[in-house]
Structure 1
Amino acid sequence: MTFRDFNFKPYIQEALDELHFVDPTPVQQKLIPVVRSGRDLVGESKTGSGKTHTFLLPIFEKLDEAKNETQVVITAPSRELATQIYQATKQIASHAKNPIRIGHYVGGTDKKRQIEKLKANQPHIVIGTPGRIYDLVASSDLDIHKAHTFVVDEADMTLDMGFLGTVDKIAASLPKDVQILVFSATIPQKLQPFLKKYLTNPVMETIKTETVIADTIDNWLISTKGRDKNAQILEISKLLQPFLAMIFVNTKERADDLHAYLSSNGLKVAKIHGGISPRERKRIMNQVKQLDYEYIVATDLAARGIDIEGVSHVINDSIPQDLSFFVHRVGRTGRNGLSGIAITLYQPSDDSDIRELEKMGIRFVPKVIKNGEFQDTYDRDRRANREKSYQKLDTEMIGLVKKKKKKIKPGYKKKIQWKVDEKRRKERRAANRAKGRSERKAKRQSF
């Protein structure tokens, strides 16, 4: 199907045409009809799957511009993500014949000015971070008691960053019959109490894919054993020649250390972590958008709300302590059908974490840097796989085979060989008897 099959209002279709959006993503195709039906929804799908327009398009379809009241409230856990939703909302609203007021409320902005504007008119659509939105609601400057739609975007990140309690307070200020839409890459168990408290018989939809990350992403695995990791990342970075690469680290201290090292070696590197002030963070983000940097060193929570266009590569300095963050990291690249490369550095102690990620459907390709280029290398499991290829022997058989290998008299070798063969014959007979019993039992039960 195409977006035209949804029969949106003409101005909404114009906005889609301007973006060259023709075919809906799987999440849009499946969930837009659910949102339009008015039912509560919990939509779970991989990062970069098109969740924002999944809720924005039906919201504009239902919006009544003639009413001077707030009809929609959208929360996002970070300023950057809230700003991105705001920009997407403005793009659609710009095509409407009648003016649509959109309130953008995040921390670090002029609260007094926002209050003055609210005295004149209430916005039709409210978008912002939970803290600032609730501040305006609690002071009675923002009136949301007539809103018909409440969107909690990136719910798992909202939980991770400790904002779910504030979202709870916002939900308590809304009408009982408000439609609640929860979108997330994952649905953690700790989110369940909130869902049970506020959602009424919600549609629970998980958009399954062959892998938890986009098919356009190549996952490379590079060992750091015996290497200086800073020097290794510098070498990798220079070989990649990225449009824009994000380098993820686990701590602020590591971010500072790696940023200083790469910068001192001539790379154009930005740094984003929780210790950076909002003003500095905003300045850095503006420079990133102007392509002043080729690399961004970032921690998980600082980066999860960032959706930067054109990330061609992701480098994992180490595997995240919370494995669900791996999906969010790698999902920064390979978006909108574009290809991307994610490189994960690992050491032997990371093997169990890598296996867990593989169980999630992530396929790694082992690589090594040789002669100034990335080359395929041996699978880290090659020895274990080779051992598995041999027939498994019990302890008695192993003892017999070991005896056979010793330098002993020819007659004794034949005797050992006869014992090995005899044991195998007994095992086959036992297996055949067991099979016969199972078949006779199944036959009796069928009558």
Structure 2
Amino acid sequence: MSRDDSRVKGETMTETFKDLQLRPELLEALQEINFVKPTPVQAKLIPVILGGRSVVGQSQTGSGKTHAFLLPIFDQLKVDVDEVQAIIATPSRELASQIYEDAKQLAGHFKDQIRIANYVGGTDRSRQERQLDKHQPQVVIGTPGRLRDFMEEHELDLHTAHQFVIDEADMTLDMGFLKDVDKIAGALPKDLQMMVFSATIPQKLQPFLKKYLTNPVVEEIPVTSIISPTIDNWLISTKGKQKDELIYELLTMGEPYLVLVFCNTKQRTAELTAYLKGRGLKVAMISGDVQARERKRVMKQVQNLDYQYVVATDLAARGIDIKGVSHVINDDIPHDLDFFIHRVGRTGRNGMPGIAITLYKPGEENEIAEIEKLGVKFAPKDVRHGEVVDSYDRNRRFQRTATHEKLDPTLVGMVKKKKKKIKPGYKHQIKTAIKRKAQADKRIEMRESARSQRRQNRRQGESQRSNRSH
């Protein structure tokens, strides 16, 4: 069977990248970064993309999706054709920059120069316009808004492209960029090969997919294949502890190589960063409140290991690839549990060990249970005397054999309500309520007995009067 025939059939019996029959230049580039065996998403989709089919890959961060589309793009690139051949749209500047760096690494092994451009907001637009006047890039990477602007101003000739990648499609939808992507896709040739990658496929994304993708190959990579087995997931309760102090202890014990601390909000990110700096730690902060140029500068410093600790919002989880992360700490459980996978996926990459620590408050057991449904197995831990030690299973109370007398049904709601609130002294309040209920039942019983006695006395009195009258 010829190379092209095997691609059309989409064979996926791949043990190594050599089995994919890629260009020698690409195999050299992969060897340089120590990529030997394709990840599941790469093994399944690269042959299909090489065969010319459009694809929808539902895959999480850390699954290797970037190279799943970059490798076939570069393998099929016509290096002697001076026009735009492939477009990669991504919702964040940071992710665009990361894809740009990965693309440059692949291009660096080709003898001929491959022109790659990265068009995002916050960069020197006039300089980019001057470069476009000279020549068009062959591979275009960028955020949807900037790509659409260049296209509509007739500076960027996107209409020649035959491959269009939409990375992080769900995030593109959430951030309101789908109209820009729609506009770009509408200007591309009818024989367009589209590659859509997304952690989830929301219902609102379906009309767009139906509009541009005809009979695509859809692959969903299970979550269980994405959470690296080299990651230890620790679960620590914050009950009775100051969270800021707890995080400081976790950061300063042992010798972590690089720690990412994720917060749910920009405000919390700023507060925690200020606290840790006040305790003498050199901390980098990455959030939406930090200007793009400053974020880029900070990221370079992090890559150069100028910082050992980084506090970030989920912007970093979806858009930044920081190599060498040894620990991830979840300051809080993310509101969107998909982000948990993205956060944890920052460590334990390429077979390296990693530790992901999740802090949770009493009353968040349901959220933890939902995360466990994603395939995460937590090891309960606690911090004592400056060390992380094994703790008890949070579900131990449900595993005990009941030895107490069953509660009165009227108290069940009260017990559940008190447990849900988890306020100090709730056990005492429940005991007091049980005692009061017993006293009330006794009073009711005494009143009923008295009423019964009075009725009996009345009947006896009536009977005696009746006998006297006769």
Q: Secondary structure at the match of 1:103?
A: strand
Mapped partners of 1:241, 1:188: distance in 2 = 41
Mapped partners of 2:226, 2:38: distance in 1 = 19
Mapped partners of 1:211, 1:344: distance in 2 = 20
**TM superposition shift of 1:184:** 2.1
Match of 2:20 in 1: 6
Match of 1:58 in 2: 72
Match of 1:401 in 2: none
Match of 1:115 in 2: 129
Q: Is the 8 A contact 1:246 1:297 kept in 2?
A: yes
Mapped partners of 2:343, 2:145: distance in 1 = 25
Mapped partners of 1:203, 1:344: distance in 2 = 36
Mapped partners of 1:68, 1:261: distance in 2 = 53
Q: Is the 8 A contact 1:272 1:303 kept in 2?
A: no
Match of 1:158 in 2: 172
Q: Is the 8 A contact 1:330 1:342 kept in 2?
A: yes
Q: Give the TM-score normalised by structure 2.
A: 0.80
**TM superposition shift of 1:302:** 4.8
**TM superposition shift of 1:188:** 2.6
What is the one-letter code of the residue matched to 1:324? D
Match of 1:217 in 2: 231
2:154 maps to 1:140: yes
Q: Is the 8 A contact 2:317 2:339 kept in 1?
A: no
Q: Secondary structure at the match of 2:351?
A: coil
Match of 2:340 in 1: 326
Q: Which of 30-39 and 184-193 deviates more?
A: 184-193
Q: Is the 8 A contact 2:167 2:196 kept in 1?
A: yes
- Which ranges of structure 2 fall in alignment gaps of 5 or more residues? 1-14, 409-470
Q: Give the TM-score normalised by structure 1.
A: 0.84
- Which ranges of structure 1 fall in alignment gaps of 5 or more residues? 396-447
Change (3 A) 1:49 1:248: same
Match of 2:364 in 1: 350
1:36-55 alignment, distance < 5 Å: 36-55=50-69
Q: Is the 8 A contact 1:246 1:314 kept in 2?
A: yes
2:353 maps to 1:339: yes
What is the one-letter code of the residue matched to 1:157? M
Q: Is the 8 A contact 1:47 1:213 kept in 2?
A: no
Match of 1:310 in 2: 324
1:43-192 alignment, distance < 5 Å: 43-192=57-206
What is the one-letter code of the residue matched to 1:318? D
Q: Which of 13-22 and 238-247 deviates more?
A: 13-22
1:176-255 alignment, distance < 5 Å: 176-210=190-224, 212-255=226-269
Partner deviation per Cα, 1:357-407 (whole Å, 9 max, x = no partner): 11121111110112321111110100101248x9xx9x9xxxxxxxxxxxx
2:26 maps to 1:17: no
Q: Secondary structure at the match of 1:56?
A: helix
Partner deviation per Cα, 1:1-49 (whole Å, 9 max, x = no partner): 2111222222222222222322211211111111111111011123211
Partner deviation per Cα, 1:82-135 (whole Å, 9 max, x = no partner): 111111111111221222111111111111111111111111110111121111
Q: Is the 8 A contact 1:161 1:301 kept in 2?
A: no
Q: Which of 47-56 and 6-15 deviates more?
A: 6-15
Partner deviation per Cα, 1:123-176 (whole Å, 9 max, x = no partner): 111011112111111111001112110001122222233322222222122112
What is the one-letter code of the residue matched to 2:157? D
Mapped partners of 1:268, 1:160: distance in 2 = 33
Mapped partners of 2:58, 2:185: distance in 1 = 20
Mapped partners of 2:124, 2:234: distance in 1 = 44
**TM superposition shift of 1:282:** 1.5
**TM superposition shift of 1:303:** 4.1
Partner residue of 1:267 out of 281, 306, 311: 281
Match of 2:6 in 1: none
Q: Which of 208-217 and 11-20 deviates more?
A: 208-217
Q: Which of 294-303 and 349-358 deviates more?
A: 294-303
> Number of aligned pairs?
395
Partner deviation per Cα, 1:211-264 (whole Å, 9 max, x = no partner): 652221111111111211111111111124311111111111111110000001
Q: Is the 8 A contact 1:46 1:213 kept in 2?
A: no
Q: Secondary structure at the match of 1:336?
A: helix
Q: Secondary structure at the match of 2:83?
A: coil
Q: Is the 8 A contact 2:382 2:391 kept in 1?
A: yes
Match of 2:45 in 1: 31
Match of 2:380 in 1: 366
What is the one-letter code of the residue matched to 1:131? G
Mapped partners of 1:197, 1:366: distance in 2 = 47
Q: Secondary structure at the match of 1:65?
A: coil
Q: Secondary structure at the match of 1:33?
A: helix
Q: Is the 8 A contact 2:260 2:311 kept in 1?
A: yes
Q: Is the 8 A contact 1:153 1:182 kept in 2?
A: yes
Identity of aligned residues (%): 61
Q: Is the 8 A contact 2:63 2:226 kept in 1?
A: no
Mapped partners of 1:11, 1:80: distance in 2 = 27
What is the one-letter code of the residue matched to 2:44? K
Match of 2:424 in 1: none
What is the one-letter code of the residue matched to 1:80? E
What is the one-letter code of the residue matched to 1:210? T
What is the one-letter code of the residue matched to 2:185? A
**TM superposition shift of 1:287:** 1.2
Partner residue of 2:307 out of 293, 299, 307: 293
CA RMSD of aligned residues (A): 2.1
Q: Secondary structure at the match of 1:210?
A: helix
Mapped partners of 2:293, 2:170: distance in 1 = 26
